[in-house]
């Protein structure tokens, strides 16, 4: 008997495929994020600009010693100094050169007064205080010649070890990936979800037979795709334009992506917690900033946590981003493998569990 009251005729399924719903709930939000100017700017253009700046900082290195030469000097000492590699002489008037030394434009002022070689240095400049070492070598050699010593009893032989060329970009780039992941995980999730909540987009979705978990998994997957793309763009930009080195090539690259995914999943948990806890952007904004800004500054994103006073270091070293940065840096600069960074990942996992427990307790759909 067909019944009016309980007809299944033509009805949509009560439990539609969650796989199809999940794919749609990942793909369409990803499309939407791709069209969001703010996401694209802060997620992609911003880190690339940072990398460009840090790449340029890294290229400013030791430029040699600039010495001012007071006019009128001449003789064998001058010839010896002029022949030193890495030393540039700038002849000029004594008062003018002294002024430039004070300003740090040059590293020393040389006056040749017969047998006296007078070098003025700027005690405030470390490079200026190195200048006497350079001249001492030249003066010693002349002294030996004048004394008729052709075969000195002691000789200094310097051997160089070919080390990894460590530049600031090598430190900064892994930190930039960490910072991008934290931004995407927190700000993207918090503001994205609160908007969907306030504009009743989530509620409208809840009026369909889809499961809440499928909606969240879709959101998380879309964010994960964006975050991995960010990591790839940052790495590619660093490798292509600033000679960022991947110790084990593709293996390092893939491991960095794996760490990025892990980090993002942890940060997403905090994003969900804040988005679930706060009803409005006004409330969520300060809390999201309170969570992210200290980590940007304290987690070794721009500089090593070793520069902090002893009391601050335990705090700085326990933050989730610190552990992600440490793991990324170990992989990116030392070629560490997954086992080597397991301790950092373990701490990160503890943070992640804490985040999801808090999120599960506070989350409200609408």
Using CA atoms, how far apart are residues 100 and 89, in angstroms rounded to an integer? 13
Whether the Cβ atoms of residue 70 and residue 98 lie closer than 8 Å to each other: no
Question: Which residue, 165 or 204, has its beta carbon nearer to another protein?
Answer: 204
Name the one range near another protein by CB under 8 A: 107-115, 144-152, 197-205, 265-273.
197-205
CA distance linking residue 247 with residue 169, whole number of Å: 14
DSSP secondary-structure letter at 13? P
CB of 265 to another protein, least distance (A): 23
- Find the shortest distance in angstroms from Cβ 24 to another protein: 3
**What is the C-alpha separation between 120 and 115, in angstroms, rounded?**
16
Long-range contacts of 87-96 (CB under 8 A, 24+ apart): 87/134, 88/64, 90/66, 92/68, 94/70
DSSP letter assigned to residue 161 = -
* Using rule CB under 8 A, residue 1 touches another protein: yes
Footprint (CB under 8 A) of another protein, residues 9-28: 9-17, 20-21, 23-25, 28
CB-wise, 164 or 204, nearer to another protein? 204
**Of 45, 228, 32, 62, nearest to 131 (Cα)?**
62
Q: Does residue 196 bind another protein (CB under 8 A)? A: yes
CB of 324 to another protein, least distance (A): 29
Considering the complex, state which of residue 21 and residue 69 has its C-beta at the smaller distance from another protein. Answer: 21
Residue 56: CB minimum distance to another protein, A:
35
**Which of helix, strand or coil describes residue 325?**
helix
198 to 237: interface string for another protein, x by CB under 8 A? -xxx-xxxxxxxx---------------------------
Q: Give the x/- contact pattern for another protein in 141-180, rule: CB under 8 A.
A: ----------------------------------------
The answer to whether 123 contacts another protein (rule: CB under 8 A) is no
Q: How far apart are CA 114 and CA 76, in angstroms?
A: 10
CA dist 324 → 121, 193, 304, 350 (Å):
44, 25, 13, 12
Query: What residues line the site for another protein (CB under 8 A)?
Result: 1-7, 9-17, 20-21, 23-25, 28-29, 31-33, 35-36, 195-196, 199-201, 203-210, 366
């Amino acid at each position: 008997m067909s019944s009016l009251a309980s007809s299944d005729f033509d009805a949509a399924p009560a439990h539609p495929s969650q796989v199809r719903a999940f794919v749609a709930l990942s793909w369409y939000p990803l499309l939407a994020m791709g069209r969001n100017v703010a996401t694209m700017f802060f997620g992609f253009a911003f880190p690339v600009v940072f990398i460009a700046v840090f790449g340029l900082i890294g290229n400013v290195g030791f430029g040699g010693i600039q010495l001012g030469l007071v006019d009128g000097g001449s003789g064998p000492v001058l010839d010896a100094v002029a022949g030193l590699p890495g030393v540039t002489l700038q002849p000029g008037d004594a008062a003018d050169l002294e002024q430039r030394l004070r300003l740090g434009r040059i590293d020393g002022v040389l006056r040749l007064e017969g047998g006296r070689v007078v070098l003025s240095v700027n005690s405030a400049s470390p490079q200026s205080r190195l200048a006497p070492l350079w001249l001492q070598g030249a003066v010693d050699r002349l002294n030996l010649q004048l004394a008729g010593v052709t075969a000195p009893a002691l000789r200094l032989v310097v051997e160089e070890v070919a080390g990894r060329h460590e530049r600031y970009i090598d430190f900064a780039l892994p930190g930039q990936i960490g910072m991008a992941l934290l931004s995407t995980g927190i700000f993207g999730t918090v503001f994205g979800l609160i908007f969907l909540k306030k504009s009743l987009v989530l509620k409208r979705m809840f009026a369909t037979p889809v499961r809440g978990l499928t909606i969240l998994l879709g959101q998380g997957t879309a964010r994960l795709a964006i975050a991995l793309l960010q990591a790839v763009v940052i790495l590619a930009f660093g490798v292509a334009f600033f000679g960022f080195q991947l110790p084990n090539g593709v293996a390092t690259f893939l491991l960095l992506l794996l760490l990025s995914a892990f980090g993002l999943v942890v940060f997403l948990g905090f994003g969900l917690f804040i988005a679930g806890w706060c009803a409005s952007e006004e409330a969520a904004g300060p809390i999201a900033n309170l969570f992210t800004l200290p980590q940007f500054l304290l987690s070794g994103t721009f500089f090593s946590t070793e520069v902090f006073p002893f009391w601050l270091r335990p705090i700085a070293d326990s933050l989730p981003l610190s552990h992600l940065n440490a793991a990324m840096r170990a992989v990116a600069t030392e070629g560490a493998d997954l086992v080597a960074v397991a301790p950092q990942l373990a701490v990160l996992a503890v943070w992640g569990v804490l985040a999801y427990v808090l999120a599960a307790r506070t989350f409200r759909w609408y």
